[in-house]
Chain A
Amino acid sequence: NAGVTQTPKFQVLKTGQSMTLQCAQDMNHEYMSWYRQDPGMGLRLIHYSVGAGITDQGEVPNGYNVSRSTTEDFPLRLLSAAPSQTSVYFCASSQGQGLTQYFGPGTRLTVL
């Protein structure tokens, strides 16, 4: 099992550009989520999904969109990048909402 994979590892964007951060898991987990990690603020939940076709907002959803067309994939879209979105983004999955979460290696995003 590859576990949770994320691409790209690093990305630099200009303000206003859009992009998609990819996340995939091969453990047949129903629950997937996206977090951002900023210095001194811990990890904050952006969006999550309890299964294919179902998504919901977390603490900091503004500026981000998600969709879940398959169990395996949960992409995160930045619609119009802003410098405030400079962060490290982590995708996570688990068999259920209250069970152990498995994290991907992260994507380090810089918005100029």
Chain B
Amino acid sequence: KQEVTQIPAALSVPEGENLVLNCSFTDSAIYNLQWFRQDPGKGLTSLLLIQSSQREQTSGRLNASLDKSSGRSTLYIAASQPGDSATYLCAVRGTDKLIFGTGTRLQVFP
């Protein structure tokens, strides 16, 4: 059974720092991996989707990498801003469904 783990569960950093969020999964037979952002009391917003054949995807200050063989993905946020404060979730897709991690709650303070 696929399990997805995100470490750390919470992170607090000063504005301007570059930071890395981690996601690990137990079954490497995945179709793709997605990173989402969730603001308090809101739905999820898709940030990046990496297909199993890809190594990384970039969008603005965000870069996500995927190492299927080791069961790991990282989300790199460059030059963090207070507006980046949110919970970040990763989810892996197997044959028929998405399995979510429990998220990393990020706070960026001025």
Q: Hey, which bits of chain A sit against chain B, CB under 8 A?
A: 4, 33, 35, 40-45, 48, 56, 58-59, 90, 92, 97-106
What 0/1 readout, one digit per residue, does chain B (2-16) give for beta carbons within 8 Å of chain A? 001000000000000
19 more contacts with CB within 8 A, not counting A44-B100, A98-B32, are A4-B43, A33-B97, A42-B4, A42-B89, A42-B101, A42-B103, A43-B91, A48-B97, A58-B97, A97-B96, A99-B49, A100-B34, A100-B46, A101-B44, A101-B98, A102-B46, A104-B43, A105-B43, A106-B42
Q: Hey, which bits of chain B sit against chain A, CB under 8 A?
A: 4, 31-32, 34, 36, 41-46, 49, 89, 91, 93, 96-98, 100-103
B97 touches A45 (CB 8 A): yes
Contacts A40-B102, A59-B97 known; A103 to B45 CB distance under 8 Å? yes
Which residue among B4, B96, B98, B102 has the maximum number of chain A CB atoms within 10 Å of its CB?
Answer: B98
- What residues of B have a CB within 8 angstroms of the CB of A101 in the complex? 34, 44, 46, 98
| 27 residue pairs bridging A and B, Cβ less than 8 Å apart | A4-B43, A42-B89, A42-B100, A42-B102, A42-B103, A43-B44, A43-B100, A44-B100, A45-B97, A58-B97, A59-B97, A90-B43, A90-B44, A92-B44, A97-B93, A98-B31, A98-B32, A98-B93, A101-B44, A101-B46, A102-B46, A103-B36, A104-B43, A105-B42, A106-B41, A106-B42, A106-B43
